[in-house]
Chain A
Amino acid sequence: DAKTTQPNSMESNEEEPVHLPCNHSTISGTDYIHWYRQLPSQGPEYVIHGLTSNVNNRMASLAIAEDRKSSTLILHRATLRDAAVYYCILRDVGGGTSYGKLTFGQGTILTVHP
């Protein structure tokens, strides 16, 4: 499985934008980039995913480098509720033993200051 590298932790102030980076230099052409987050004492929560183009939804934006070897999750205005562990995950398109599974790494702990 292709691996991802994320900073262990990041800090932000409330109402400021947050850019969470993820490196995936060994990404294959069939890997989608998924982001999940996990709030304290809760199960993970889907945030966004993309393949090549930048993506936006109500929660966040995903910016994908042209060579797809890195991506950035953008929270446009951080709130205290955004404090969580953010996971960048490569998800194979499926088939065989990988079967579209999610492989969670260590993630980035985001702290948001009031």
Chain B
Amino acid sequence: NAGVTQTPKFQVLKTGQSMTLQCAQDMNHNSMYWYRQDPGMGLRLIYYSASEGTTDKGEVPNGYNVSRLNKREFSLRLESAAPSQTSVYFCASSEAPAANQSPQYFGPGTRLTVL
């Protein structure tokens, strides 16, 4: 049981380049989330998917798009990377739809630098 996996672990981009961060979970969870964490700060929610086929904006969605490919996978796309998107990105999943109190399980993170 791998839990929540994220690829890549590290990435360096130039301003204006695009990339997709991949996330997969093997716990048969319904809900998935993308957060970003900037140095010395707590996590901020970018997008979430309460169930397969649905996605919704979180606190800081500008500059990002997401795809819930199937129940297991939830990807985050940066269409035109900017230095302000330099951050550590965490994917998470939880068993029940987001309105429940189910714990969220987090992946190891992707460290992204935009030059």
Among A46, A94, A100, A106, the most chain B Cβ lie within 10 Å of the Cβ of: A100
Provide the residues of chain B in CB contact with A100, threshold 8 Å.
97-101
Residues of chain B in range 34-58 having any CB-CB distance to chain A below 8 Å = 35, 40-45, 48, 50, 56, 58
Known: A43-B106, A44-B90, A99-B56. A106 touches B41 (CB 8 A): yes
B11 to chain A, nearest CB (A): 16
- Which A58-97 residues sit within 8 Å CB-CB of chain B? 87, 91, 93-95
> Contact check: which of A36, A41, A46, A99 meets B50 at CB < 8 Å?
A99
A44-B43, A106-B41 given; A101·B98 CB < 8 A: yes
A49, A103, A105: the one within 8 Å of B101 (CB): A49
Query: Assuming A99-B50, A100-B99, A107-B42, is B108 touching A43 (CB within 8 A)?
Result: yes
Question: In whole angstroms, how far apart are the Cα atoms of A41 and B110 in the complex?
Answer: 10
**CB of A11 within 8 Å of the partner chain:** no
A49 and B98 in contact, given A43-B108, A106-B42 (Cβ under 8 angstroms) = no
Which residues of B are found within 8 Å of A102, using beta-carbon distances? 43, 45, 104
Which of A41, A46, A107 interacts with B104 by CB under 8 Å? A46
**Which residues 83-97 of B have a CB within 8 angstroms of A?**
90, 92, 97
A81 to B82, CA, bound (A): 36
CB-CB contacts below 8 Å: A19-48 with B: 32, 34, 36, 41-46
Contacts of A34 in B (CB 8 A): 101, 103
A43 to B50, CA, bound (A): 20
Give the residue of A41, A42, A101, A105 whose beta carbon is less than 8 angstroms from that of B42.
Answer: A105
24 intermolecular pairs with C-beta atoms under 8 Å apart: A43-B90, A43-B107, A43-B108, A44-B43, A44-B90, A44-B104, A44-B106, A45-B106, A46-B104, A46-B105, A49-B101, A87-B42, A91-B101, A94-B98, A94-B99, A94-B100, A99-B50, A99-B56, A99-B99, A100-B100, A102-B43, A102-B45, A103-B45, A104-B35
- Apart from A41-B109, A101-B58, A106-B41, list 5 A-B contacts with CB within 8 A: A45-B106, A94-B98, A103-B42, A103-B59, A106-B40
